[in-house]
Amino acid sequence: MFEIATIALLLTMAGALYRALVGPTLFDRAQAANAAGTVAVLLISVYGFLTGRPEFLDLAIVYGLLNIVGTIAVLKYFRYGDLGDPGEDAGRGEAR
């Protein structure tokens, strides 16, 4: 039962990684990384069920959190040029 879901998720992961590889613009790659992250969360959960180990769901939650932080960091870097060095006047937040 979980084999079908695992195979489908592996195909989806392959598609997302291919898009990351070939994506013309930078934002395609960021989007593919985000999609791959979500698919990874699902893959870990399904694999946890496949092998009967419920601890995998904790991994999936942590991986989901890391994925969103990573995507936002990449986007912030490429939108504002840097991640906002707290050293300089941190209050100034407008887009340079």
Partner 1 sequence: MHAVIDALSWLLLAAGGLFCVIGALGLLRMPDFYTRLHAASVIETLGAGLLLLGMMLQAGLTLVTVKLVFIALLIFFTSPTATHALARAARLRGLGSIARDEDAPPSKP
Determine which helix (DSSP H) or strand (DSSP E) holds 10, and give its type and residue range.
helix 2-22
What are the Cα distances from residue 82, in Å, to 9, 15, 30, 68? 34, 30, 16, 18
Cβ atoms of residues 71 and 79 within 8 Å:
no
Q: Quick check: 82 binds partner 1 (CB under 8 A)?
A: no
Binding to partner 1, residues 24-43 (CB under 8 A): 25, 27-28, 30-32, 34-35, 38-39, 41-42
Triad 63, 76, 10: Cα angle to 5°: 35
Q: Quick check: 7 binds partner 1 (CB under 8 A)?
A: yes
Per CB under 8 A, the list member of 54, 86, 87, 93 interacting with partner 1 is 54
Q: How far apart are CA 50 and CA 3, in angstroms?
A: 7
Per CB under 8 A, the list member of 40, 47, 51, 75 interacting with partner 1 is 75
Q: Which residues bind partner 1 (CB under 8 A)?
A: 1-2, 4-5, 7-9, 11-12, 14-16, 18-19, 25, 27-28, 30-32, 34-35, 38-39, 41-42, 45-46, 49, 54, 57-58, 60-61, 64-65, 67-68, 71-72, 75-76, 78-79, 95
